[in-house]
Structure 1
Amino acid sequence: MIEVEVKAKIESFEEMEKKLEKIGAVKSKKEFQEDIYFASPIVDFAQTDEALRIRTTNNNTFITYKGPKLNREAKTRKEVEMTIESAEKAKDILEEIGFRQARTVRKNRQYYTYENFEISLDDVEGLSPYMEIEIALEGDADYSEAQQRIFRLFEKLGITEGFERTSYMELLENIYTS
């Protein structure tokens, strides 16, 4: 699967919730997420623009690999995700083979659906409010068209700047290393 995702800093959750309701977006779920990111013993993920994480939510646990970004406009990349039974066991396995925990990102996320977009309002510990808009593509779908549709939706919601191509982990790293 190819994930096409764009995030932007927003002023307030309340204001954005009103705008989403006005266009007909449907609030679908709210959950707490804890993402444990790992550094590879083989390759520097910061250099290759990849990510490996374990995500724990209210109800599920996943291990996710995110490939290098495919372009400069959005966070468009291959994503492979699998449900797992135990975050602790997966963490132990990864650490035993040389991966090390790099950073933990915690957030409360409110999901909305609109057409074939997944929209989330993200309250990330240590960061300002953000909104992400995402489309998942299968096979050889044209991700440049998907990107343009995402940017048009942002514009419809009154957002024309503040876009961020980096991950929440990278944003937090920049804060703690500055």
Structure 2
Amino acid sequence: MPSNVEIKAKVSDLTQFAQKAAELSQSEGTIIRQHDTFFSCSQGRLKLRDFMNGSGQLIFYERPDTDGPKLSRYSITPTSDPQSLQVVLSEALGVKGEVKKERRLFLIGQTRVHLDTVEGLGHYMELEVAEDLMEKLGVSKESLVTGAYMDLLLKEHKEI
């Protein structure tokens, strides 16, 4: 299974982070709308990512729920009919929850930098890689978060 190292953190100043990422990537980034449906499964996480344009990806991944950088192992398969696949998987496995977000993707060298606005949670960033880039972008270790957006949304609803 392929793998990468992922770092996720809350972003307190969206504009400042976007400016730094744009400078470092020498681009304004690419906007990607995503609607992720998480399904119940016995191990890891299984989600269907709908790009809201008739295409999507079924993604299975395993990643520890710990603070800081974490190794994520994943398998991805594309789909040209995410809505029908969502119906079948929902009936077969049950839905754990959904995450709707707008992602701004920057490429800084070989590192993918995601600036996400997550419905119901706010602004976050994900790096699919290195601590020196965290430092250049001004991301503190205190702002790192644990778990998937789905976990954060479930936690938010419990605290209300």
TM-score computed with the length of structure 1 as normaliser: 0.79
Cα deviation 1:86-125 (Å, max 9, x = unaligned): 223222332443x001101000111100010000110000
Counterpart in the other structure of 1:116? 110
Are 2:147 and 1:156 equivalent residues in the alignment?
no
Secondary structure in 1 matching 2:131 = helix
In structure 2, what is the Cα distance between the partners aligned to 1:94 and 1:100? 7
1:86-125 to 2 correspondence within 5 Å? 86-97=81-92, 99-125=93-119
Are 2:44 and 1:64 equivalent residues in the alignment?
no
Secondary structure in 2 matching 1:164 = coil
Are 2:159 and 1:175 equivalent residues in the alignment?
no
The gaps in structure 1 that reach 5 residues or longer are: 136-149
Are 2:56 and 1:75 equivalent residues in the alignment?
no
Superposition CA RMSD, Å: 1.9
Instruction: Verify the 8 A CA contact 1:35 1:104 in the aligned structure 2.
Output: yes
TM-score computed with the length of structure 2 as normaliser: 0.87
Q: How far has the Cα of 1:58 moved from its partner?
A: 3.8
The gaps in structure 2 that reach 5 residues or longer are: none
Counterpart in the other structure of 1:139? none
Instruction: Verify the 8 A CA contact 1:26 1:114 in the aligned structure 2.
Output: no
Distance of aligned partners of 1:22 and 1:176 in 2 relative to their CA distance in 1, 3 Å threshold: same
Q: Which has the larger radius of gyration?
A: 1
In structure 2, what is the Cα distance between the partners aligned to 1:174 and 1:72? 16
Equivalenced residues, count: 156
Instruction: Verify the 8 A CA contact 1:5 1:76 in the aligned structure 2.
Output: yes
Q: Which moved more, 1:111-120 or 1:7-16?
A: 7-16
In structure 2, what is the Cα distance between the partners aligned to 1:122 and 1:152? 20
